[in-house]
Amino acid sequence: MCGIVGYIGKRDVAPLLLEGLQRLEYRGYDSAGLVITGKPAAGKTSATLKMVKAKGRVRDLEARVPKRFAGTTGIAHTRWATHGAPSDENAHPHMDPEGKVAIVHNGIIDNADELRTKLVSDGVVFLSETDTEVVTHLIARSQAPTLEEKVRQAVRTIEGTYGIAVMHADFPDRIVVARNGSPVVLGIGEKEMFVASDVAALVSHTRQVVTLDDGEMATLKADDFRTYTTEGSRTSATPTTVEWEAESYDMGGHDTYMHKEISEQADAVDRVLRGRIDDRFSTVHLGGLNLDAREARGVRRVKILGCGTSYHAGLIGAQLIEELARIPADAEPASEFRYRNPVVDPDTLYVAVSQSGETYDVLAAVQELKRKGARVLGVVNVVGSAIARETDGGVYVHAGPEVCVVSTKCFTNTVVSFALLALHLGRIRDLSVADGKRIIEGLRKLPAQISEILATEDDIAKLAQEYAGANSMMFIGRVRGYPVALEASLKLKEISYIHAEAYPASELKHGPLALIEPALPTVAIVPDDELLEKNRAALEEIKARSGPILAVAHAPQEKADHTIVVPKNETELDSILMGIPLQLLAYHTALALGRDIDKPRNLAKSVTVE
Ligand code: AGP
């Protein structure tokens, strides 16, 4: 979704805003803009707001910023269009005709049409098609004496989600921000303040941050800030320290963030295991779980909720919990769950999965569950994110910042986090010491085995060249392999734009086999587990119909045209490794097709709207 950056202090603001936008461009990238101001002229109390906007990338905006563009306060925005096509007019910030008010916004205003109609009937002339512009006019037309009150009136009038930052020419000494459903983080500097929709834009300046909650606002001045509710009562803002160094947001010598993040997986898995394994009792310690052994024994079912890749990780997590802890478990897209008026069961443990911790569909599902008294854990990457703060406890996946729109290292770390959770629950119940030891040994082997797989990248790149011409691809797997097929299919389609679908291998004969022909390659997940012969039978069915096959397996498969061999781990953990070569397959296929790997069309890294 959109990226928001703001600064107030003594430094030249335009370069700071542009650098911040570049850090956030992965969140949304079809247009961008900024507004700055300086001190009022001598004898004046009002300042002048200066704005530049551009359709396209941040570099297109940068090209339009005048050489002499001085100011020490500003807000900026990189957009992922929801209302109104990408264009200069629809780019943020949005200003009123008098140039008094400027606002940047992330989120969706549900009652924008109704408010626009009323404002137009009052004679307001709109310059854009966006929902955001409505807020600009509400603030500009407010008669309230302070900027805080003007903004409070506006946010109490709108319905929907917002993360907004507002500047006003008559109040040049401050930026007012507000949050409801879309992230807003304050960065605390030395006699300067920052605001952003993601810590990625702040960490090169400060790691002291304050994350606003829904319904919270803040006033930023050069040497001070205060937080309060939309009703006006003060709130206590406790700064936290961002875990990740600024350097970890750099590309580190790789051509793309995706390649960097795929390559980091051995270290990332090492990080998620660190300090959590208890050899004495062949189990793991999960500090932030907030679920004691007695409560864990009372869990009768586990329901995992997530979106996209996180949902796929949840599917594997559900299998791990059933296999290791023998607790009935399943995963469901969060967006489906919240709209079917779910029966919330007090003996069910709910687990929300999210890399960003800001995905609106997941956050809304968590809030609905909490409203109904459910216990909800979070398996999240971004520390202090909305979902992490909304849940009763959980497991941080410690993947480090994941900048690429498509998730790779965080998927792997999330699945490993579920393996830890499953082991923890299993050893509280009936999982034996021997099995606990076996799983721990398997977990400890993962980093080296991941490195082994990554070392075969050149071979996988060659295969990608061969398949890059396909119009569509089929991915199949069975039981543990099926979520791997789902995730690999998503990876391919979201960065190469090749249509792909995943099917349970056993379902092929119930219809999809009709698609099999020489032009349709099938990627088959064929682990050496109790289903190996069944999977080989599926390969026979495909081969008999001249379908090309790329197998991912623990040994070459006779019926496959090519096999990517991955190292064998414990059967329960094999799916963690089998997906990694298919990340590289998607990457190199997209590369061969000249796609924009880190910013695929139509997508955004964190979907903070419905
Ligand atoms: C990942 O490859 C996708 N871009 C997307 O499906 C993502 O996993 C999904 O939007 C959920 O994001 P989250 O993990 O931050 O909640």
Query: Quick check: CB of 606 below 6 Å from ligand 1?
Result: yes
Q: What is the pLDDT of residues 412-453, one digit of tens each?
A: 999 999 999 999 999 999 999 999 999 999 999 999 999 999
Res 82 pLDDT > 80: no
- The rounded Å distance from CA 482 to ligand 1 centre is 18
Average pLDDT over residues 452-475: 97
Contact at 8 Å (CB) between 78 and 28?
Answer: yes
Residue 610 has pLDDT above 90, yes or no: no
Q: Indicate if ligand 1 lies below 6 Å from the C-beta of 356.
A: yes
Quote the pLDDT of residue 28.
60
- Cα Dmax for the chain: 86
Residue among 444, 503, 443, 449 nearest 473 (CA): 503
Residue 235 parent element (H or E): strand 234-235
CB of residue 219 inside a 6 A radius of ligand 1: no
Which residues are registered as beta bridge partners of 210?
Answer: 186
At 442, which amino acid appears?
G
Strand, coil or helix: 559: coil
Residue 384 has pLDDT above 90, yes or no: no
Among 2, 307, 404, 410, the active-site one is: 2
CA of 436 to the centre of ligand 1 (A): 31
Give the mean pLDDT of 307-334. 98
Reading the block at residue 120, the tokens are: 């137009």
* Of residues 220 and 252, more confidently modeled: 220
With a cut of 80, say whether residue 30 has pLDDT above it: yes
Minimal-distance CA residue to ligand 1 atom 9: 308
Q: State mean pLDDT over 64-69.
A: 92
CB of 178 closer than 6 A to ligand 1?
A: no
Task: Give the active site residue among 150, 303, 409, 605.
Answer: 605
The rounded Å distance from CA 414 to ligand 1 centre is 12
* Pair 101, 168: CB distance under 8 Å: yes
Task: Render pLDDT for 143-154 as a digit per residue (tens, 0 to 9).
Answer: 999 999 999 999
- CB of 335 within 6 A of ligand 1: the answer is no
Classify the phi-psi angles of 162: left when phi > 0, otherwise alpha if psi is within -120 to 50, otherwise beta: beta
CB of 406 shorter than 6 A to ligand 1 = yes
- The predicted-structure confidence for 229-278, as pLDDT tens digits, reads as follows 999 899 998 899 888 877 788 888 899 999 999 999 999 999 999 999 99
- Look-up: residue for tokens 């830890």? 420
601, pLDDT greater than 90:
no
Q: 359 in ligand 1 pocket by Cβ < 6 Å?
A: yes
How many Å lie between the centroid of ligand 1 and the Cα of residue 376?
A: 19
What single-letter amino acid sits at 158? Answer: I
In short, whether 405's Cβ falls inside 6 Å of ligand 1 is: yes
**In the annotation, is 2 catalytic?**
yes
d(CA 199, CA 195): 9
What's the rounded Cα separation, in Å, for the pair 128 and 132? Answer: 9
Q: Do residues 103 and 166 touch, judged by C-beta distance below 8 A? A: yes
Average pLDDT over residues 343-363: 95
* C-alpha 605 to ligand 1 mean position (Å): 7
Confidence of residue 159 (pLDDT cuts 50, 70, 90): very high
The rounded Å distance from CA 381 to ligand 1 centre is 11
Q: How confident is the model at residue 27 (pLDDT cuts 50, 70, 90)?
A: low
Q: HEC string of 181-197?
A: ECCCEEEECCCCEEEEC
Ligand 1 atom with least separation from CA of 307:
11
> What φ, ψ does residue 523 adopt, rounded to 5°?
-100, 125
Percent of the chain beyond pLDDT 70? 99
Q: Is the CB of 489 under 6 A from ligand 1?
A: no
Of the candidates 373, 330, 372, the one whose C-alpha atom is nearest the C-alpha of residue 353 is 330
Give, for 23, the enclosing helix (H) or strand (E).
Answer: helix 13-24
What tokens appear for 182 in the block? 């879309």
CA of 356 to the centre of ligand 1 (A): 8
Residue 353, pLDDT > 80, answer yes
Q: Is 543 a catalytic residue?
A: no
Give the residue whose CA is nearest to atom 8 of ligand 1: 309
Q: Which of 135, 604, 558 is nearest to 407 (CA)?
A: 604
Q: Does residue 394 carry a pLDDT above 70? A: yes
Mean pLDDT of 555-568: 97
Confidence at residue 606, expressed as pLDDT on a 0 to 100 scale:
75
Q: Which residues pair with 221 in a beta bridge?
A: 224
pLDDT attached to residue 26? 65
What's the rounded Cα separation, in Å, for the pair 90 and 83? 8
- What mean pLDDT comes out for the span 395-404? 93
Atom of ligand 1 nearest to the CA of 603: 4
Q: What is the pTM (predicted TM-score) of this model?
A: 0.85
